Structure 1
Amino acid sequence: MTKRILFSVFLLAGLSASTKAQTIPKNAIGLRPNAGDGIGLDASYQRKVFTKNRLEFDLGLREDGHYDAVKFAALFHWVFKIDKGFNFYAGPGIGAGHWNDDRNYYNNGNGNDPRWSDNGGYGFVTGVAGIEYVFSNIPLQLSFDIRPEVHFGDDRKDYDNDYHDLVPDVGFGVRYTF
């Protein structure tokens, strides 16, 4: 009798653990509108790698009036269940980007002065912290997060007085889960 009770307890504990492990969708793909160093839109893909972890890859465009940028980010998430579809996630990340100055502030009367156009690449390290809701009845995930980025290898600050190496990136994700 004791063996049956212990077996039942272990079976229920195992089923409970496997149910909680399924709170992270295996895959999610969608869009992440964001703001920080300009207004942007990322194509976003998430892949579950362990029971409570996933990878996220984002490729996006930024625009802030005078500068345009393309950016790639790779992040690792630890995902913690909060309650009934709500999860908290946090983790580190890295990335790279390329920006282009399209400012026309040195106009010598015949168009842009090419001596003042500039572009460059940069790298960054980041972290992410956010909250998400995974719908149980439809394949949809909504998220809100912040990714403070520390840029390096970027000479953009030589040309833009408003630019800083620490960039907050706040985004809202809408992803299809499968």
Structure 2
Amino acid sequence: MKKIIFLAVIAFACGTATAQSNYRQAIGIRFSSNVYYDAAAVSYKFFVSNPGAIELNLGVGDRRYWDNNDYRHARGVNFAGTYQHHFQIKPVPGLKWFVGGGLVLFNTSANAPDYDGFGAGIYPTGGIDYKFARIPLNLSADVRPIIHITAPSAFETVYPTVGIAARYAF
């Protein structure tokens, strides 16, 4: 009996926590100005509380660079996890702004050691998020200045990026 009551309380709390957001979760694609390892990513976002959401991205990129009088490619993959705290923008239903931060892990593959290898970084983030009222579409735009903790030597220590995402909300 205690387990049933406990599960009922948890279910009620989860339902109440997300009742004020326009959607509970969304999946789609995110495009970024970070061509090294995050040009395009699968994006999954879910709310853990009324204002708090987690966004997970699995992305790829391809950066061309000049080496020995020839263009080469540094191809990369990444995984990023972000916490976002949302705030309503009252005049427009479904429009919110958010701040937060996250962690990115990436690996690039290139013929030049300066572009080849594993990296990790942290970033603050901020942006806007909009969920259409009549269709299951969520759009967002954000800024993520990535601070590389470790990266191949050709990577900048601070790499400012902007991104846009379109997701199916459910």
Q: Equivalent residue for 2:61?
A: 62
Structure 2 portions without partners, runs of 5+: 1-15, 66-73
Query: How far off its partner does 1:156 sit?
Result: 2.9
Q: Which is higher, the Rg of structure 1 or of structure 2?
A: 1
Structure 1 portions without partners, runs of 5+: 1-17, 104-115, 158-162
Q: Does 1:42 align with 2:41?
A: yes
Aligned partners of 2:146 and 2:161 also within 8 Å: yes
Higher helix share: 1
Aligned partners of 1:68 and 1:102 also within 8 Å: no
Identity across aligned pairs (percent)?
A: 28
Query: How far off its partner does 1:23 sit?
Result: 2.5
CA RMSD of aligned residues (A): 2.2
> Can you list the C-alpha shifts for 1:104-142, whole angstroms capped at 9, x where unaligned?
xxxxxxxxxxxx686210110011101121101000011
Deviating 4+ runs (over 6 angstroms): none
Q: Does 1:165 align with 2:161?
A: no
* Counterpart Cα distance in 2 of 1:21 and 1:89: 18
* Counterpart Cα distance in 2 of 1:86 and 1:118: 39
Aligned partners of 1:24 and 1:48 also within 8 Å: no
SS of the counterpart of 2:148? strand
Aligned partners of 1:44 and 1:56 also within 8 Å: yes
Q: TM-score, with normalisation over the residues of structure 1?
A: 0.74
SS of the counterpart of 1:172? strand
Q: Does 1:175 align with 2:167?
A: yes
